[in-house]
Amino acid sequence: MKKVSISDIARKAGVSVSTVSFVMNDKAVKMRISREVIEKVENVAREMGYRPNQLARGLRTGKTKTIGLIVENISNAFFAKLAKSIEDEAKKYDYKVVYCSTDNDEDKARDLINMLSQRQVDGYIIVPTLNLAEDIRKLQAENKPVVLIDRYFPQHDEIPAVLVDNYEGVSGGMEYLIGKGYRKVVLVTIETEMAHMKDRLRAYYDVLNRHGIAPVDGFVKVVPYESDRETALKEVEDLLAGAGTAFDAVFFLTNYLGVLGIEAIKKLQIKVPGQLAVLCFDDNDIFRLYTPTISVIRQPIEAIGQKAMSTLIERLRHTGEEAFPENAPLMLIADLVKRESI
């Protein structure tokens, strides 16, 4: 098969060879080529199966066409799907993704940033740990674009972020539970100071307050993040032992806790929704397959991946000659998926 050249691409796209060269070498924005033409050339190159010599291009441009993706735990269903979404979106821009997990460990997160920096990735998409803001600001100072996902730093709005509106997601779930007649709702969350989890917890208390429902001691179960699986499961079991009498609904604030909850419910033979209504923030295949199916607040994972990648690409293409893209967090909406558990 004949190797596709930039001349072939230029003929099919109806542009000059120099225009194709500028696009392929990430100089299109600097040369004031319109976004429409850039996308047209990129689409034609992709359709024709054009494969540039990445080593040669890297030497010319100083770019490796790779993105570093750092998440909390790649084995978690949410982060695995998010990584796949980002990888698929990156391919559209001819970028490769190198991804790794922090396990919510501060030192490991810093080591991973250093490792990716040594590999000379062009930019980063990061699910940050609690105290990583300064490390991220250093990357920005080195002209390495960074976009946060899932979590953010309220005091550092100079770091762009693509987020779900956690507060509104939990508010909508609580309103639905109360609207269905459940007024004794227990909450299961993890022990963390991260802003997104605080937003979820704050929404729980605000909705109770709006409906004149006094918070009950012991109705918020905080599971330490460092707990091993068996310890966390035991804590959830001990809580759910009071289902049907002390409380009538449970709201898990992460899908990991929700999966533990399903295991505890099965072990304790709790009837859902007869004895206990169940709602979880984040979806999981288990929630669709379990009988009865579990209602969830579902995050738009594909949209998060697409927006995170396009936000990063905007910054990678920025030359300093045009207005810099806004850093204000981009908030997406999480949907309430009503199933049989409520």
Residues in the chain: 342
Segment (H or E) for 296 = strand 295-298
Do residues 57 and 85 lie in contact, with contact meaning Cβ atoms separated by under 8 Å?
no
Which residues 6+ apart lie within 8 Å of 44 measured at CB?
Answer: 9, 12, 13
Report the alpha-carbon distance of residue 214 to residue 200 in Å, rounded.
18
- pLDDT at position 78: 92
Give percent helix, percent strand, percent coil of the chain, each to the nearest 5.
Answer: 45, 15, 40
pLDDT of residue 33: 87
pLDDT of res. 59: 42
Q: What is the pLDDT of residues 47-57, one digit of tens each?
A: 888 866 654 55
Residues carrying CATH 1.10.260.40, the chain: 6-59
227 exposure class (CB count in 10 Å sphere: 0-12, 13-18, 19+): middle
Q: Are 305 and 85 in contact (CB under 8 A)?
A: yes
CATH code for the part of the protein at 6-59: 1.10.260.40
Query: Closest by alpha carbon to 139, among 102, 109, 164, 162?
Result: 109
Domain at 63-163+301-332, CATH class: alpha beta
Given the candidates 3.40.50.300, 3.60.15.10, 3.40.50.2300, 3.40.605.10, the CATH classification of the domain at 166-298 is 3.40.50.2300
| Contact status, residue 325 vs residue 314, Cβ threshold 8 Å | yes
Give pLDDT tens digits for 308-322.
Answer: 999 999 888 875 555
CATH 3.40.50.2300 domain span(s) along the chain: 63-163+301-332, 166-298
pLDDT in 10s for each residue of the chain, 342 residues: 567 888 888 899 999 988 988 888 777 777 788 888 888 988 888 888 886 665 455 545 567 899 999 999 999 989 999 999 999 999 988 899 999 999 999 999 999 999 999 888 999 999 999 999 999 999 988 889 999 999 999 888 889 999 999 999 999 999 999 999 999 999 999 988 899 999 999 999 999 999 999 999 999 999 998 889 999 999 999 999 988 889 999 999 999 999 999 999 999 999 999 999 999 999 999 999 999 999 999 999 999 999 999 999 988 887 555 555 667 679 999 999 999 999
